Structure 1
Amino acid sequence: MAGIIGHILPLALGVALSSVPIVVMVLILLSPRGRWSSLTYLIGAVIGLAGLTTLFTAVATLLPPAPSSSKSPLIATIEVALGAGLLFIAAVRWRRARRLHHEQTEGHAAAAAGAPGGGTGTAAKSQTGAAKWMAKVTTLGPIPSLGVGFVLMLRPKNLLLTIAAGVAIGAGGATFSEVVVGIALFVVLGISTLAAPIIFAVVDPSRMRRPLEETRIWIEGNSATVTTIVVLVLGTVIIGSGLAHY
């Protein structure tokens, strides 16, 4: 059981630090119907993450048993592939963030110089698009929020992390009770960054409004860097774990 926990803790951390679900949660909490919509959003996220983890764990139990307690080329190959996928996602996010930062810098420089159309390029369009979907999120009611919470658990990074967790839980010959505890622990930790703020906000909404606003501003400015670093570290860890199984 300790081995399973050791494998899933960093994976659950990667899910918990996903910036998009956190930003959406903050926006929903700050909306007029935030109290009920945030609860259904949390329920949708729990259903999505628990369902995926259970599915991938069940599939992992069908894998051939390892010839020894530490060597399994099949599991090693799966983990190396998953780690490589996470590194690819980290590289794509890093390049996208650098390009957006470069475009924003050029736009600000053009605007400061009084150039025609300064700040109205791709970066401005990206900011407009982000503003539109943020405004849309604040209008969501309880039922749509449930669907959004579920769908956000299906994002590529989450899928890779959940597959890795399923392999760690289901492919090691664990007992049924250990599998249940592993899935529950992964889901609870993975959803903790959504559950804690939502519970506090429902209990005392007026007190949480200012911290939520500050969190939203901070995430909007730093989410790309934080997510890229987290994904990069997790991808490296998973590849290292896979190489150790050869």
Structure 2
Amino acid sequence: MAPIIGHILPLALGVALSSVPIVVMVLILLSPRGRWSGLAYLIGAVVGLAGLTVLFTAVASLLPPPPSADESPLFGSIELVLGAALLLLAIIRLVRARRARRAITGSPLSALDELASLDDAPPPGATQRWMNKVTTLGPLPSLGVGFVLMLRPKNLLLTMAAGVAIAAGGEPLAPTTIAIAIFVVLGISTLAAPIIFAVSDPERTRRPLQEIHEWIDRNSAVVTTIVLLVLGTVIVGSGLARY
């Protein structure tokens, strides 16, 4: 089971560092109905991530079993495709950032500026509208938002890769369930911890939440792109190791 955990840990980290779910969480917690809406949002995110992980693990387990624990070309090929997709997603973000900056300033970007200009959020014209909308959500809509945000392309790719890694281990039901639980708990940790603290003591957590929001506004683009590049490389390397 240890090799499975080693495969899914970086993938869970990638899910945990998704900036959009964290920003939405902060906005919900700072809203007038933040306590109950935050809990509902967390439940929706847990259900979405757990459901996807179980689904992809079950689908991957239907594939022909690998000839040995060390060699599994089919699972390796799937990981190569998923890793390449993550790398492609990172490259697309870089290209879009370059084009957007050139359209605005007419000058090329440095590599650091390209990273800094990236963002997972909607286009500037829509940003304030969706932020205002999020702060008005009640518990039931928040639950739905938490679920839907787990279906974003990056999360789907990471969860697929986790399902393939878990299924490729060929473990019985109990270890497989534990691996899925570990992935979900780690992947949701950046949402669960702030929400639990905010529910228990909303006044003390208000200032830290505002600081988190400001930090994400400044740094989420760099973090997200680096995570995509690193995880894409890790998954490609894992796929190559299965041949």
Normalised by the length of structure 2, the TM-score is 0.90
- d(CA) in 1 for partners of 2:174 and 2:230? 30
Once the two structures are TM-superposed, the CA of residue 95 in structure 1 deviates from its matched residue by 2.5
Match in the other structure for 1:184 = 181
Aligned partner letter, 1:13 = L
Match in the other structure for 1:68 = 68
Match in the other structure for 2:209 = 212
**Percent identity of equivalent pairs:** 72
CA distances 1:91-134 after superposition (whole Å, capped 9, x unpaired): 1222333444555667xxxxxxxxxxxxxxxxxx9323111111
CA distances 1:32-71 after superposition (whole Å, capped 9, x unpaired): 1111000000000000000000011111111111112211
Match in the other structure for 1:115 = none
Is the 1:97–1:224 Cα contact (8 Å) retained in structure 2?
A: no
- d(CA) in 2 for partners of 1:100 and 1:139? 31
SS of residue matched to 2:137: coil
- d(CA) in 2 for partners of 1:69 and 1:19? 35
Closer, same or farther: CA 160–191 of 1 in aligned 2, 3 Å: same
SS of residue matched to 1:206: helix
Q: Which segment is superposed worse, 61-70 or 185-194?
A: 61-70
1:140 corresponds, among 111, 134, 137, to 137
The within-5 A match list for 1:88-237 is 88-101=88-101, 126-237=123-234
RMSD: 1.4
Instruction: Count residues with an aligned counterpart.
Output: 228
- d(CA) in 1 for partners of 2:11 and 2:164? 11
Q: Tell me, which stretches of 5 or more residues in structure 1 are unaligned?
A: 107-124
Is the 1:56–1:167 Cα contact (8 Å) retained in structure 2?
A: yes
Match in the other structure for 1:86 = 86
Is the 1:93–1:224 Cα contact (8 Å) retained in structure 2?
A: no
Once the two structures are TM-superposed, the CA of residue 217 in structure 1 deviates from its matched residue by 1.1
Indicate the structure (1 or 2) with the bigger Cα radius of gyration. Answer: 1
- d(CA) in 2 for partners of 1:79 and 1:140? 38
Q: Which segment is superposed worse, 232-241 or 162-171?
A: 162-171
Once the two structures are TM-superposed, the CA of residue 224 in structure 1 deviates from its matched residue by 1.2
Q: Which runs of 4+ in 1 moved over 3 A?
A: 97-106
Normalised by the length of structure 1, the TM-score is 0.89
Once the two structures are TM-superposed, the CA of residue 4 in structure 1 deviates from its matched residue by 0.6
Q: Which segment is superposed worse, 84-93 or 14-23?
A: 84-93
Aligned partner letter, 2:156 = L
Closer, same or farther: CA 207–105 of 1 in aligned 2, 3 Å: farther
CA distances 1:147-196 after superposition (whole Å, capped 9, x unpaired): 00000000010001001100111122101111000000000000000000
Closer, same or farther: CA 103–135 of 1 in aligned 2, 3 Å: farther
Q: Which segment is superposed worse, 11-20 or 93-102?
A: 93-102
